[in-house]
Structure 1
Amino acid sequence: MTTLHIAAACLLDPNDRLLLVRKRGTHALMLPGGKREPGESPVQALQRELEEELHLRLEAATLTPLGRFQAPAANEADTWVQADIFIARLHQPVEAAAELEELAWLAPGEPLPDNLAPLLRDQVLKALPGLLA
């Protein structure tokens, strides 16, 4: 079993909607972020991925750690992800870039989509108390 080390963000807009992304050629909605490269800290990897995927530049000080979570990978068989997850507020529009095919928003109290990645569905949303009840 392979483990991928990733960093991802719960990006919230002014209405507390959570940004979800879907990569090209995949089915699962997940948090923006991605794999860490050798020598990168979780924050450095997340900053790089957010700029590549969303043209979004966030200062490290704006990223609040939520925790480290582990779950089966959404798009790769026999693979787990170990994810450092951060929370940040969005104060500017974002657009899909790089390998992203879709952006979606999950509003507080809204039913959860059926195609959420296991990490998000089973771990991260439970760690956001009150936010997406």
Structure 2
Amino acid sequence: MPDIHVSAAVIVDADDRVLVVRKQGTTRFMQPGGKPEAGETPAQTLIRELHEELGLVLTERDLRPLGRFVSAAANEPGHRVIADAFAVTFAHAEVVVQAELAELRWITPEDAATLPLAPLSVEHLLPLAWASRTR
């Protein structure tokens, strides 16, 4: 099965909602991020992608590595995605749909039950985001 390498951001707001995005021409929501350009580290890829897709300006200090995760690719049948995931923190920012994104949503676990989500999000990243919920 061919592999697709990506970097992905797990962004949680003050209300314990997680940011997911949907790219144009697709139906599934996923964590923001994307594929590396030649010579980029996973962190550099994520910083560039979050700037292109959401208008965020971040540095490597804003990223906390969460690990590498493998799932079936959401939009490329017969492929698997290998994602370097990072928790992303920033003081305050307005995220805006840009580049190839069609929409974004801040979701709760209840929303996740009814939203078409990428396997990587369902299997790994959303459970990780909500694992430390304090309620």
With structure 2 as the length reference, what TM-score do the two structures score? Answer: 0.90
Equivalent position of 1:12 in the other structure: 12
Q: Deviations over 1:9-53 (max 9, x none)?
A: 011222221110000010000000000122110000000100110
SS in 2 for 1:71: strand
How far is 1:132 from its partner? Answer: 9.2
Greater mean alpha carbon deviation, residues 11-20 or residues 52-61: 11-20
Aligned to 1:131: 133
Q: Is this contact kept in 1: 2:29–2:115, CA < 8 A?
A: no
Aligned AA (1:131): R
Q: Which sections of structure 1, spanning at least 5 residues, go unmatched?
A: none
SS in 2 for 1:126: helix
Structure 1 residue 70: deviation in Å?
A: 0.4
Q: Percent identity?
A: 45
Shift of 1:76: 0.6
C-alpha distance in 1, partners of 2:134/2:53?
A: 24
RMSD: 1.7
Tell me which residue corresponds to 2:107.
106
Counterpart residue type for residue 74 of structure 1: A
Deviation at residue 84 of structure 1 after TM alignment: 0.4
| 1:92 matched to 2:93 | yes
Q: 1:54 to 1:111 in 2, by over 3 A?
A: closer
Q: Work out the CA distance in 2 between the residues paired with 1:131 and 1:39.
A: 36
Matched residues in 2 for 1:15 and 1:81: separation?
29
Q: Which has the higher helix share?
A: 2
Deviation at 1:124, TM superposition (A): 1.6
The answer to whether the 8 Å contact 1:21/1:103 transfers is: yes
The aligned counterpart of 1:120 is: 121
CA distance in 1, matches of 2:68, 2:134: 19
